[in-house]
Amino acid sequence: MILTIAFRELKTLFLSPLAWSILAVLQLLLAYLFLTQIETFVSFQGRLANIDNAPGLTDIIVTPLFANASIILLLVTPLLTMRLVCEERRNKTLTLLLSAPLSSMEIILGKYLGILGLLMLIILLICLMPLSLLVGGELDYGKFICNIVALSLLVAAFSSLGLYLSCIASHPTIAAIGSFGLLLLLWILDWTAGVSGKSSEVFHYLSMLKHFQSIQSGLINTVDISYFLLFISTFLILSILRLENDRIQK
């Protein structure tokens, strides 16, 4: 049942130009960034050969590529998630789901998996770029996979927050602005780290960027993984509660 909703969500995305254009634009931007990273690598290559333990292909090309992708997805995810529940409510199609024999959990998870499907497709396309390097070089697969895991968790966290805001907001644009603002705040939260003393530790923990970079560096740490899992489940549960609340208040 969850998958039925998820598939319809995906189908709708691909029936409108939205998904296609996002895929195209993202691919174009990232391909350009990928190219500049390769150029950097080529220009450094001679000097790298002289250094012991020099950063490899993966460090110089893949990690920055995924870091760039994370920022671009920070901008794009709110646009994708804004319609999820909000538009259904505006078009009154939510009634169909609410009067069908489904629990709120199934509805929310279905919507979430649907949007996650598209985002995973985007990540898959991003992965193809580093894989093309295999033609002439070698990748550090451990780090490569860590990068994929980091980006997937990050994107899953982005979309759970976006989904929640879509449940709250009365208009898709408000949902988009709200989730973009919140995500950006969580992203830059640890910039205060240098300014104040001890209080910044909380900020440090809350900052998404820190956890993302930590996994990206090849360090799979339970702190980081559980941060993301907690983040995702918190917002999913909040969304479910919010949908239940709809029936009570309206």
Partner 1 sequence: MTSLLIEANNLSRYYGNHCAVDDISFTLAKGEVLGFLGPNGAGKTSTMQMLCGNLAPSSGQIKINGFDLLDSPQQAKQCLGYLPDTPPLYKELTVNEFLEYCAKLHKVSFREISNSIASAKSRCGLSDVAERLITNLSKGYQQRVGIAQAILHSPEVIVLDEPTVGLDPIQIKEIRSLIKDLGSEHGIILSTHILSEVQESCSHVQIINQGKLVFNESINNLNQRMNTSTIKVVTRKAINLDLLSNINGIISIELIDAASQYLIHHSTDINPTEQLAEIIVNSGCGLLELSPTKKSIEDIFIGLTTNKQADV
Of 14 and 205, which has the nearer Cβ to partner 1?
A: 14
Footprint of partner 1 on 71-130 (CB under 8 A): 91-103
CB 22, min distance to partner 1, A: 17
Alpha carbon separation from 100 to 93, 94, 108, 139 (Å, rounded): 11, 10, 14, 49
How many binding residues for partner 1 (CB under 8 A)? 24
CB 88, min distance to partner 1, A: 9
In this chain, which stretch among 6-14, 53-61, 126-134, 230-238 interacts with partner 1, using CB under 8 A? 6-14
Q: Is 12 in the site for partner 1 (CB under 8 A)?
A: yes
CB 192, min distance to partner 1, A: 42
CB 8, min distance to partner 1, A: 5
Candidate list 15, 54, 75, 124; residue touching partner 1; CB under 8 A: 15
Of 226 and 245, which has the nearer Cβ to partner 1?
A: 245
CB 210, min distance to partner 1, A: 40
In this chain, which stretch among 134-142, 202-210, 214-222, 242-250 interacts with partner 1, using CB under 8 A? 242-250
Of 137 and 171, which has the nearer Cβ to partner 1?
A: 171
Half-sphere exposure of 20 (CA within 13 A, CB side): 6
Of 1 and 75, which has the nearer Cβ to partner 1?
A: 1
Q: Contact 236/112 with Cβ under 8 angstroms?
A: yes
For the chain, give the DSSP string: -HHHHHHHHHHHHHHSHHHHHHHHHHHHHHHHHHHHHHHHHHHHHHHHTTSTT---HIIIIIHHHHHHHHHHHHHHHHHHHTTTTHHHHHTTTHHHHHHSS--HHHHHHHHHHHHHHHHHHHHHHHHHHHHHGGGTS---HHHHHHHHHHHHHHHHHHHHHHHHHHHH-SSHHHHHHHHHHHHHHHHHGGGGGGTSSTTHHHHHHH-HHHHHHHHHTT---HHHHHHHHHHHHHHHHHHHHHHHHHHH--
Of 87 and 140, which has the nearer Cβ to partner 1?
A: 87
Residue with tokens 């396309």: 125
CB 89, min distance to partner 1, A: 11
Q: Is 219 in the site for partner 1 (CB under 8 A)?
A: no
CB 18, min distance to partner 1, A: 11
Q: What six digits make up the tokens of 186?
A: 């969580």
> Rule CB under 8 A: which residues touch partner 1?
1, 4-5, 8, 11-12, 15-16, 91-103, 247-248, 250
